[in-house]
A and B are shown apart, each in its own frame.
Chain A
Amino acid sequence: MKKPPILERMTDVFRDVLDNETVALTRETTANDIEEWDSLSHITIIVAIEKEFNIRFNLADLKPLRNIGEFEDLIALKTGSQD
C-alpha cells in the first residue's frame, strides 16, 4: 500500500507534537507561522520525524532549516523517496 505523501505525514507529526489539529503545513511554512513551534517542541518534532520516517539525522542535517520545504526535501533525501 502506498504511504501518504511526505508533507501529509509531516503534518500529522506536527499536529500530534503541538497538540493542535489546525496545523496546515505548506512548503513555505516557517516557525514564525506556528505559535507553538518553539525550540523545545522543535527537538520533539525532530525525534518524532525520525521515528515516523525511520531515518536518523546527523549533525550536519540539523543546521537551521529555512522552511518546511527544506525539511521535506531533507526527509525525501534521507528516505530516498520519489514524491
Chain B
Amino acid sequence: MMNYFTYPLNPVALLRKKKSIRRELSCLPNLADKRIAILGGSTTAEVRDMLELFLLHAGIRPDFHESDYNRYFEDIMFPESGLRNFRPEIIYIHTSSANIQRFPAIDDTLETIEELLESEMDRYAGLWRRIEQDYGCPVIQNNFEMPHYRLLGNLDAYDRHGRTAFISMLNHRFAEEARKRKNLYLNDINYLAAWFGLERWHDRLFWHSYKYAMNYEAIPLLADSIASIIRSIYGKTKKCLVLDLDNTLWGGVIGDDGLQGILIGKETPEAEAYTEFQRYVKELKERGILLAVCSKNDEANAREGFTHPDSILSIDDFAAFFANWNPKHENIRRIAETLNIGFESLVFADDNPVEREIVRAQMPEVAVPELGSDVAKFIDILDKTGLFETVSVSRDDLQRNLFYAANTEREKQQEQFASYDDFLRSLDMVADIAPFFPLYLDRITQLTNKTNQFNLTTLRCTLSEMEAMSCDQNRITQYGRLRDRFGDNGLVSVMAGIVKGVELHVDLWLMSCRVLKRGMESAMLDSFVARAKTRGLSGIVGYYYPTAKNCMVQDLYKEMGFRRLPPDTTDNGTAWHLDISQGYSRKNTFITVKQ
C-alpha cells in the first residue's frame, strides 16, 4: 500500500486501482474528518478522487463539496450556492491558464494590457476577500501553467503581448498576494507542469473530450501537491531526516574501504553525486529539519567518515548519532526518544531495500521513501515526495538545530550539579508569558498542530481559528517563551480557555518537549490563574483527552492540585477542577516571569 505514495508515483496504477486503494485506506484507524471544497475552472472529478487517496494516506478523511463545472466564481460569490451550508474547512480553487478571461491581443496598447492584468487580479482578489469574509478558512489556489502554444515563439516570453509573458506577470502577482495574505496558499502548478513535462501536461484530447485542464496522468502529481499543502496546514509535516551512512551519504563502506576509499568530493561522477546529496541534506538542516544518523557501523568508523576533507556534513550537523550493530528500528526508536519527537515526524533514508522494508514493517508511522540505490536520484525522491512541505518558515525553524545543540550543553551541565533543583536554578531562566499576539500567531498555530506529547487536548487549529480565538472576548489566551543562559528556546507553550459563568475551561494546553522538566508548565499555570482572577473568575476546569502520544500528561492536573470531576463530565477523557476563589499558591520557583 505504502509504495503507491512514494516518488516516483505510478499514476497508471493509482488511477487503475483507485477504488481498491481507497477501500483499504478507509479502514485505517484515527482518520481526522475534514470538509474540503474543490471549486474548479475545469473538470475536477478525478482530482477529487486522487486527492481523497492522498489525504487518506496522510490520515485525513475528506468530505468534499465540488462546484459544478467551471462555476468556481459563482460558487464563492453567490451565497445561495451549496458552499455556505457545507461550511468548508479548506477551499481549493482549481483554476489554470484555461481560465484566463482574456489574453492580450497583438494590437493592444500597453495600457490595455495593464488593465487586463488588473482585471484578472481583481477577479481572484475578490474571491479571496469574499472567502476571508464568509468562511475565514485557508484557500489553496493554483497559479498558472505556461501556455500550450507561443504565437510569438521565443519573443512570447518577453514581448508584453505574449501569453507566456502575461502568465509570468500573473504568477508574479499571485506570489505577491500569497506573501501578503495569511490564508492564501499557492499550489505551484507552473512548477508541476514543467516537472511533468509541458508537452504531456497539455493533453488536448482530454481537454476537448472531458475538459480536464491537464493530462490525466498528471492528476496524481497534482493531488499529491495539494495534499502536501493540506498536511502542512494541519502541521502533519516531518521534523527529522534519519540517514544511513554507507552508500547513502557517501559511496562505499567506511569500515572496509577506509577514509581514503569512500566516495565523496569531486574526483569521480559518483563522488560528485554524493557531495550534491550531502549539500541537499545540509540545506534541509539549515531550513530547520533535524538530522540523525542510523548506521550499522562501529561508532568510531562512522564518525571518521565526516572527517573526510570533502565532506559537506560534519558531526555537529546531527542532532542524534546512532552507529552500532543493533537493528535499525531500535536505533530509530532511540533517536525519537533522544529528540523527544514522535515516530510520525521521522523520515528514514537508506539505500538498502531490506533495511527499508524492516523499518516499514516495524514502524509503520515512519515515512520510508523508496530511495533506491542510485545516488543521482536521491534528491528527487526526497524532494518530490513533499514530506518536508511547509507553509511558512518561522524564525524557530531556522534556529531549531541551535535549540537542540543548546540542549546537549544543558545535559552536560546537569551532570555537574548535586541536585536537579540546583541545576534548574543555575539556568537563569526567564519566561515571557502574554496573551496571543499577532506577530506570534504563525508560530502558535504551528506549535499547536505539531505537539503530540505534552498536549492535554490535542486540539488542532488553523491560523484563522487561532486569530478568531485571540480576538474572542470570552477567551483567555497566552503563549510562553523561555530563554536561559544557554540561549533562547523560542515560543514553547500555548494555553487557551473559554469563560463560562465563573469558570475558565481550558481547551488548549501544550508545551514543546524541548523544555520538558524545566518548570515551564508551572509558570504557565500561575500566569493563567492570575489572568482568570483578574477577570473575577473563581475556578479553572481542565480536560485531558488521551491519545496514543500524550500519556506523559495524564496526571498533570492532579500534580497541579486539581480535583477530579465525576466521569460523566466529559465523554472520552478526564475533567479536573481547581478552586481559585480562596487563593492560589504559586507553583513556579525557578523561572523569572515577565508578564
Residues of A within 8 A of B (CB): 13, 16-19, 40, 43-44, 47-48, 51, 57-59, 62
The answer to whether B16 touches A48 (Cβ under 8 A) is yes
In the assembly, what is the distance between CA of A48 and CA of B19, in Å?
14
Residue interface mask B1-36, A partner, CB < 8 A = 1: 000000000001001111110010000000000000
Task: Out of B15, B23, B210, B216, name the residue touching A19 (CB < 8 Å).
Answer: B23
The answer to whether B205 touches A58 (Cβ under 8 A) is yes
Which positions 210-252 of chain B face chain A at CB distance < 8 Å? 210, 216-217
Chain B residues positioned under 8 Å from A47 (CB to CB): 12, 15, 216-217
The answer to whether A43 touches B205 (Cβ under 8 A) is no
With A16-B20, A19-B19 as known contacts, state yes or no: A48 contacts B209, CB within 8 Å.
no
The answer to whether B16 touches A59 (Cβ under 8 A) is no
Task: Out of B17, B45, B205, name the residue touching A57 (CB < 8 Å).
Answer: B205
Chain A residues positioned under 8 Å from B16 (CB to CB): 13, 16-17, 44, 48, 51
In the assembly, what is the distance between CA of A26 and CA of B46, in Å?
28
Interface of B, helix, strand, loop or mixed by DSSP = helix
Chain A residues positioned under 8 Å from B216 (CB to CB): 43-44, 47
B172 → A minimal CB distance (Å): 34
Task: Out of B17, B205, B217, name the residue touching A59 (CB < 8 Å).
Answer: B205
Chain A residues positioned under 8 Å from B15 (CB to CB): 17, 44, 47-48
* CB of B208 closer than 8 Å to a CB of A: yes
Chain B residues positioned under 8 Å from A18 (CB to CB): 19
Chain B residues positioned under 8 Å from A51 (CB to CB): 12, 16
Chain A residues positioned under 8 Å from B210 (CB to CB): 43
In the assembly, what is the distance between CA of A18 and CA of B18, in Å?
9
A80 → B minimal CB distance (Å): 21
With A16-B16, A16-B20, A47-B216 as known contacts, state yes or no: A40 contacts B209, CB within 8 Å.
no
A51 → B minimal CB distance (Å): 5
In the assembly, what is the distance between CA of A5 and CA of B263, in Å?
51
Closest to B19 in A: A19
Chain A residues positioned under 8 Å from B217 (CB to CB): 47
Which positions 86-116 of chain B face chain A at CB distance < 8 Å? none
The answer to whether B46 touches A44 (Cβ under 8 A) is yes
Chain A residues positioned under 8 Å from B46 (CB to CB): 40, 43-44
The answer to whether A48 touches B12 (Cβ under 8 A) is yes
